[in-house]
Amino acid sequence: MSLIAHLTELRNRVAKSLLAIALGTVVGFLWYDHGLLTFLSDPYCRLPNELRLQGDGDCRLVVLDVFGGVLLRLKIAFIAGTVLSSPFWLYQLWAFVTPGLKRNEKRYTIGFVVASTTLFALGSVLAYLTLRKGLELLLTLAGDEVAFQLTAELYLGFVISLLIAFGLSFELPLIAVALNLVGVLSYQALKKSRRWIFFLTIVFAAFVTPTQDPFTMLAMAGPMVLLFEMAIQIARFVDRRRARRADLEHFHDVDDDEASPLDATPSALETTPPAYVDDLRREDQPADGPAHTRG
How confident is the model over 149-177, as pLDDT tens digits?
Answer: 788 888 888 888 888 888 888 888 888 88
Distance CA 204, CA 246 (A): 37
First and final C-alpha spacing in the chain: 75
Q: What is the pLDDT of residue 19?
A: 94
Distance CA 295, CA 293 (A): 6
How confident is the model over 58-73, as pLDDT tens digits?
Answer: 777 888 888 888 888 8
Its pTM surpasses 0.85: no
Residue closest to 36 by CA, chosen among 68, 66, 78, 64: 78
Q: Dihedral of the CA atoms 262, 266, 267, 268 (nearest 10)?
A: 20
pLDDT mean over 92-99:
79
Which ranges of the chain would DSSP assign to H, the alpha helix? Answer: 3-31, 37-45, 68-84, 86-97, 103-140, 152-169, 172-181, 187-192, 194-208, 214-252, 266-270, 274-284
Q: Are 37 and 63 in contact (CB under 8 A)?
A: no
Distance CA 198, CA 89 (A): 35
Distance CA 120, CA 82 (A): 14
Residues 209-213: contacts with CB within 8 Å, 24+ apart?
Answer: 209/134, 209/162, 209/165, 210/158, 210/161, 210/162, 210/165, 211/134, 211/135, 211/137, 211/138, 211/162, 213/134, 213/137, 213/138
pLDDT at residue 263 greater than cutoff 50: no
Distance CA 190, CA 195 (A): 9
| Lowest mean pLDDT segment, chosen from 13-17, 91-95, 267-271 | 267-271
φ/ψ region of 262 (left if φ > 0, alpha if ψ in -120 to 50, else beta) reads: beta
